[in-house]
Structure 1
Amino acid sequence: MIRKLYALCGTDRTRPFSPHVWKTKLSLMHKGLDFDVAPVGFTQIPRIEQGATKIVPLLRDGDRLVSDSFDIALHLEATYPERPPLFGGEGGKAAARFVEGWSQMTLHPMIGRIAIMDIHDRLDPVDRAYFRQSREQRFGKPLEAVAEAGQADIETFSAKLEPLRHMLKFQPFLGGDGPLFSDYIVFGALQWARIVSRQCLLADGDLVTAWFERCLDLHDGFGRSVTAA
């Protein structure tokens, strides 16, 4: 069976950066499933699979199309139950929903502001124009002003990781002794920052930094297959 994962990229199609795509890539690796990556730019998304989605990741798994990283993880768990679990039961699914909410409401907005010009500058011209128009409409200000506000986020970013830091005092992964989808959720956000921005958001000697390095090493170092910015 050929699985195809549509992944958001900039001008360099070998450097997919979407945090949601990285969640899905590690979920597929976790399950030991082969897949091909189909890189797309922002303005190509509405045209893939005959307009099947407005977002990526989009996974074609045989005849099935699944979008949204959490829905893809649920699909993989239900379709391949004999392979390593991504959630470890219903409680794990509920915990992952909480982690997803924390990550997307706390980490994503900060990384988005910090790296907004880095993302813009890595896009094809047509995607660059779309990105500027859509983000300036979202934020109600020029990208440059958003980036200026993001400088303050750099100073406070580490403090926002305290819930993760606290948990890592007791176990090496959010999933316990090994990773689960909850780990991939937070990893996706930090991998996004690592790939698009040269701004260092994690400090040496931090428990979160050690955890992130362990995640980069998972699945034969798959997270390191794209180098840091």
Structure 2
Amino acid sequence: MSIKLYDLVGKDHSRPFSPHCWKVRMALAHKNLSYETVPTSFTEVRAVEGGASKIIPVIRDGETVVSDSFAIALYLEHTYPDRPTLFGGQGGESMARFIERWSLATIHPFIGSAVLMDIHECLEPVDQAHFRKTREARFNKPLEEVPVGRDEKLEAFRASLAPLRSTLAEQPFIGGVTPLFCDYIVFGALQWARVVSTYGFLASDDPVAVWFERCLALHEGIGASVPAAA
């Protein structure tokens, strides 16, 4: 029996966009595990697995239900130790925790605000209403005002990626010579932007952009199989 992955989508179910769900997609492919996706909208999340979680991704593997992308990665690592490793040991798990905190603090805030209207436009009307209500409460301003000024902030965002850029000058992946879950953490954030928006977050010659293209081609091109926003 294949693993079931509840995956966040908008109007077009063929274009999943959640950064956290993409982490899990890549982790499942990395482990060579069979899985099926269940397209899930924002307003359907609370009904997933009888209300198992307020957020997705959520997976069901037989009788086991797991939520949260990092918890899912740990579950896959320890449940399927004979498959390719996502962490390379306890030290890799700790390192991935740091990368996740760094990504959530550095990458997600800018991307999340810059593409907010793009996400809104991807959704069905009922989900647009939910999205507007929850995000306006989070940002304490009208949805349309949140991306204002993104061009002025872009240079600072690109500069904030300097630690990643210098790391990739020394090795092809964050995980070293081959990708690990730490790569999928950052990949998920940039894939989120790629799928929902045409905004240019990275210069084409940026080593981070070159690494991202490398990640898009991993696992038979699972990332590239969803076209970029046009």
* Interval of TM-score (by shorter of Structure 1 and Structure 2): over 0.9
Q: CA deviation at 1:155?
A: 3.2
- State the partner residue of 2:122: 122
Letter in structure 2 aligned against 1:128: Q
Contact 1:15–1:226 (CA under 8 A) maintained in structure 2: yes
Q: CA deviation at 1:148?
A: 0.7
The structure carrying a bigger helix percent of its residues is 1
How many matched pairs? 229
Q: Aligned equivalents of 2:218 and 2:23: distance in 1?
A: 13
Q: Aligned equivalents of 2:221 and 2:69: distance in 1?
A: 21
- Give the percent of matched residue pairs that are identical in Structure 1 and Structure 2: 57
Contact 1:113–1:149 (CA under 8 A) maintained in structure 2: no
- State the partner residue of 1:74: 74
Q: Aligned equivalents of 1:149 and 1:112: distance in 2?
A: 13
Letter in structure 2 aligned against 1:154: L
Superposed, which structure 2 residues align to 1:137-156 within 5 Å? 137-156=137-156
- State the partner residue of 1:157: 157
Letter in structure 1 aligned against 2:90: E
Superposed, which structure 2 residues align to 1:100-139 within 5 Å? 100-139=100-139
Q: Aligned equivalents of 2:156 and 2:4: distance in 1?
A: 38
Contact 1:7–1:56 (CA under 8 A) maintained in structure 2: yes
Q: CA deviation at 1:156?
A: 2.3
Contact 1:3–1:35 (CA under 8 A) maintained in structure 2: yes
Superposed CA offset, 1:39-62 (max 9, x none): 111010001111111110000111
Q: CA deviation at 1:132?
A: 0.4
Letter in structure 1 aligned against 2:204: D
- State the partner residue of 1:188: 188
- State the partner residue of 2:57: 57
Q: Aligned equivalents of 2:160 and 2:6: distance in 1?
A: 30
Does residue 221 (structure 1) correspond to residue 221 (structure 2)? The answer is yes
Q: CA deviation at 1:157?
A: 2.0
- State the partner residue of 1:207: 207
- State the partner residue of 1:12: 12
Superposed, which structure 2 residues align to 1:27-66 within 5 Å? 27-66=27-66
Q: Aligned equivalents of 2:115 and 2:102: distance in 1?
A: 19
Superposed CA offset, 1:173-217 (max 9, x none): 011000000000000000000000000112122111110011001
Give the TM-score of the pair, scaled to structure 2. 0.98
Q: Aligned equivalents of 2:176 and 2:53: distance in 1?
A: 34
Q: CA deviation at 1:26?
A: 0.2
- State the partner residue of 2:97: 97
Give the TM-score of the pair, scaled to structure 1. 0.98
Superposed, which structure 2 residues align to 1:81-92 within 5 Å? 81-92=81-92
Q: Aligned equivalents of 1:15 and 1:222: distance in 2?
A: 12
> Bigger shift: 7-16 or 153-162?
153-162
Q: Aligned equivalents of 2:192 and 2:153: distance in 1?
A: 16
Q: Aligned equivalents of 1:29 and 1:2: distance in 2?
A: 12
Q: Aligned equivalents of 1:2 and 1:77: distance in 2?
A: 16
Contact 1:114–1:153 (CA under 8 A) maintained in structure 2: no
